[in-house]
Chain A
Amino acid sequence: MRLVEGYWYEFSGVLTIGRDRGLKQACAEKKPFTEVLFLAGPTLDARGSALGSCGPTSVNRMIPMLHDLRALGVRHVIGKGVNAEVIDAFRSVGLGYGVAVGGAGAFYGLKIRRLIDRSYTELGPEGVFLVEVVDLPFYVVVEGVVRDGITKQVQR
């Protein structure tokens, strides 16, 4: 599905959650990624549910990794933060980018239905998580194409 700039979408399906150190390590080891990458580091809920609060983290620190992430299968990134540098970086690499609502950790955490796999556990919340989400909303800033999962345009 083509994701058009200026519209809200909701994604349901399997995506990867990662940030800073976990992503850097996965890129170095050339681990394959899901098409959709959600930039975040969740609280690790001690009560045993999937994960805890999990809002987006700032995208600008991940810009140097965009080439590698695309080569490893990522097609659309969801994070937070927009400026001209961010938009230029995504367009030049050919990746889609959508913003989630920063600071809405509890809201996004409850969109995670199932933790499928977890890598780099020694990094704690900085590890990489493979999860199933339902109706995770984001606003498209740089258009892209997503084939896996179910992505629907929504009126918000």
Chain B
Amino acid sequence: MEEYRPIVKELVRRLLFAPTRIQESLGIVPDQAFARIMCENVQASALATLPVCQDTGIVTFYVGHRRLSDDQLDTLRKMFECEFSTYARPSERVPLIDSYHLGTNQLVYVEEIRGRQGLGAIVSGAGTEMHAYLKVYAGTEDFANIVSDLAEWVKRRGALACPPIHISVAIGGTAAEATREAKIGFLFGDSYPSSFETRAAALRDSLRGVPLDPKGGTQSWLGNVYVRLLPGHISAVPVALSMMCWPFRVEWMDVEIG
């Protein structure tokens, strides 16, 4: 598995010190003062080898492979966890669950990706996880009501994260699958049939009209909106929304694995 170490190191470097998609946020900041501090932050992070943001919460490590064994997968996870923990803040478990601190360990979950070869990761600080959304609707629900609920949620929670924020929505499947898929939207973008385009556009337009100003104003600091549609059942249609803060710590590297 040692052959993957340089790739894992590069993945961690990008996540913590040089997020490759950060320009998708910096390019839309409508406030000069914020933009200046954000740019200085990116430079400071790279120069001082300090994480671009200290808040690394829980990391999801994605592995797209053909035939790794469970042991090999675990070795890969440990390799990532070790490299990430060298620089990041350790995860803090909440007193509701257990009352001790984890020391230097970063909490990392592994997700296997089907149909792709490579390594990736998404860093989920409080700004992204705390403001996530999941609601299950009847299949007969008017789509406009779902859009309205999502817009209300983004309005209530969006400016508590770190705008500009990016949104990923998954509709369908099971509640668990929709939540997982919403996050994967940040990695791989939209996924829906062309017949859904009108509704996806209505959803994007509605979310882009939401005020999301970290200074409490009325401007929208919304960046990308990804939409993914899953096969579902008429009796229950889960809708999940995931937020990504402006440092956009989402990386995927195409690599032949296994």
Contact = CB atoms under 8 A, between A and B. Distances in A.
A18 interface: no
A53 B52 contact: yes
A81 B103 CA distance: 28
A139 B216 CA distance: 10
Interface in B161-188: 161-163
Contact of A105 (B50, B103, B130, B163): B50
Contact of B101 (A55, A107, A109, A124): A124
| Chain A, interface residues (CB within 8 Å), range | 35 or more
B37 A104 contact: yes
Nearest to A120: B101
25 contacts: A8-B33, A21-B92, A42-B89, A43-B54, A52-B51, A53-B52, A53-B54, A57-B55, A59-B160, A82-B213, A82-B215, A83-B216, A101-B38, A101-B162, A102-B127, A105-B45, A105-B51, A106-B45, A106-B48, A106-B52, A110-B44, A122-B101, A123-B92, A124-B89, A141-B216
Interface of A: 8, 21, 40-45, 52-55, 57-60, 80-83, 87, 99, 101-107, 109-110, 122-126, 137, 139, 141, 156
* Top 7 A-B pairs, shortest CB-CB distance: A102-B162, A156-B33, A81-B160, A53-B54, A107-B41, A106-B45, A103-B162
Contact of B50 (A21, A101, A110): A110
